[in-house]
Amino acid sequence: MPGRWASRRTHGEDAGAPCAESAALPPAKLHVVGRDSYANWEAIYRDNVERIYRLMYAKVGNRPDAEDLTAEVFITALRPLRVSASVGEVRSYLLATARTTLASHWRRTLGREVTTLDTDTDQVEQVLTEGPENPTALTRVQGILAGLPDRYRRILELRFLGSCSLKEAAAELGVSVANAKVLQHRALRLAAERGL
Amino acid sequence: MRGMRRYIEDLLGSRRPRPFHAEADDDTMLRAAINLRAARPGSDVPNDEFVAGLEERLTNELAPAPTVEASRRPSRRQFVQAASVAATAAALGAGVDHVVSDGSNSPSNADQMLIPNDGQWRTVTASADLAEGGVQPFDLGTVVGFLTRTHGQVRAVSGVCTHLGCRLALEAATRRLDCPCHNAAFALTGQVVEHQLRVAPRPLPHLLAREVDGAVQVFGPAASTS
């Protein structure tokens, strides 16, 4: 049932779900930009911090790295920015800074560019225009998961989309922890081969 | 393989993934793991505390530079202050045409950030050696200071008095940084706690600090090769 992870949040009732996440979804914040340029750097920051953070999160998949990279983007970009620049100029400058910041993050940590921020692709626009429920990313992921063998799909859902520990996921699937570990590895490899 | 497994388990545990030397065919699996984690609804909303904290940090960094003291008198006094105020002023002053400010030129008492022009991240201690509430001195040769950990967050302040540049000593019992020269004392946050001067010394500048792979790093001047 690939739709269950999407619907859990909105129904707000997780009593029977395994390893349910307790954190409530914060309310979506809307940014309305009615002018052609910003009043001061604080306005630049407030209008863009969430955009940059969400882009980074989509590329690193974890909060500590996304926070560090977001901070690095603003620290690097704000000083040389002219406040008089247009909203569009400011945003492209921030995006360009984000792209190089992400590239150097990967060079520093893994030596390979695992993900890139192609500033002219649709994906950037999609992350930026959609709300935090990011339905497109979820639909895409679920489409690929739905094509996997049942147990592969289950372990990935339990561990990556839910918040099950390896032990909990093993119990849910009725296998040993060692088996769950192998299952997860194979499932992830197959999902990767299918373009996840 | 081991490095990648650990990286993925860190992702799943919402910890900072530890670096490793990735092979060519690791890319696709790592990307798949990242895409899966990032697809969780609501996972990519920034934490309010982070957003407010970063704004504060930017405010400190973009504050008007204390250029008067440093540029008018290139004296011995500036020299002895090199590790603190002057270094900050130079770093900020050098790019003064590019500084984005709110237009006010009033001297700011806000914290200063010491960011060397050609700085680099330098490991100063192991994460495990800096417990919650702990304090650790560090010495980068040209810059000295103290690390603290509060609510899990690591911070670094300069360890040089902003009055005349004497090196501060940690008074562990009171958690203060005492100046041996003129009885000034600073809190570990850099704020002045006590002084006997006519004009209060500036707060201690902060340095950028982070944790990577179990190590605490400070963004300081490049290590000298001599």
A50 touching B (Cβ < 8 Å)? yes
Q: Report which secondary-structure segment, H or E, holds B219.
A: strand B215-221
Quote the pLDDT of residue A81.
79
Entry pTM: 0.56
CB contact under 8 A, A49 and B39: no
Dihedral sign of CA atoms B150, A53, B42, A186 in order: negative
Instruction: Say yes or no to pLDDT of B83 above 60.
Output: no
What is the per-residue pLDDT across A81-114, written as a single tens digit (0 to 9) for each?
A: 777 888 888 998 999 999 999 999 999 999 999 9
Confidence bin at B212 (pLDDT 50/70/90): confident
Quote the pLDDT of residue A120.
62
B contacts of A152 (beta carbons < 8 Å): none
Across the interface, which of A40, A74, A132 has its CB nearest the CB of B102?
A: A40
CB contact under 8 A, A112 and B41: no
Tokens, residue A34: 């009615």
B contacts of A30 (beta carbons < 8 Å): none
Give the DSSP per-residue string, chain B: -HHHHHHHHHHHTTSPPPP----GGGHHHHHHHHHHHHTSTTTTSPPHHHHHHHHHHHHHHHSPP-HHHHHH--SHHHHHTTTTHHHHHHHHHHTGGG----S--SPP-SPPEE--TTEEEEEEEEGGGS-TT-EEEEE-SS-EEEEEEETTEEEEEE-B-TTT-PBPEEETTTTEEE-TTT--EEETTS-EEE--SSSPPPPPPEE-EEEETTEEEEEEEPPP--
What is the per-residue pLDDT across A138-174, written as a single tens digit (0 to 9) for each?
A: 888 999 999 999 999 999 999 999 889 999 999 999 9
Tally of CB atoms within 10 A around B37: 23
CB contact under 8 A, A54 and B46: yes
* Strand bridging mode B176-178 / B185-187: antiparallel
* Interface pTM, i.e. ipTM: 0.81
What is the per-residue pLDDT across B115-166, written as a single tens digit (0 to 9) for each?
A: 888 888 899 999 988 988 889 999 998 999 999 998 888 899 999 999 999 9
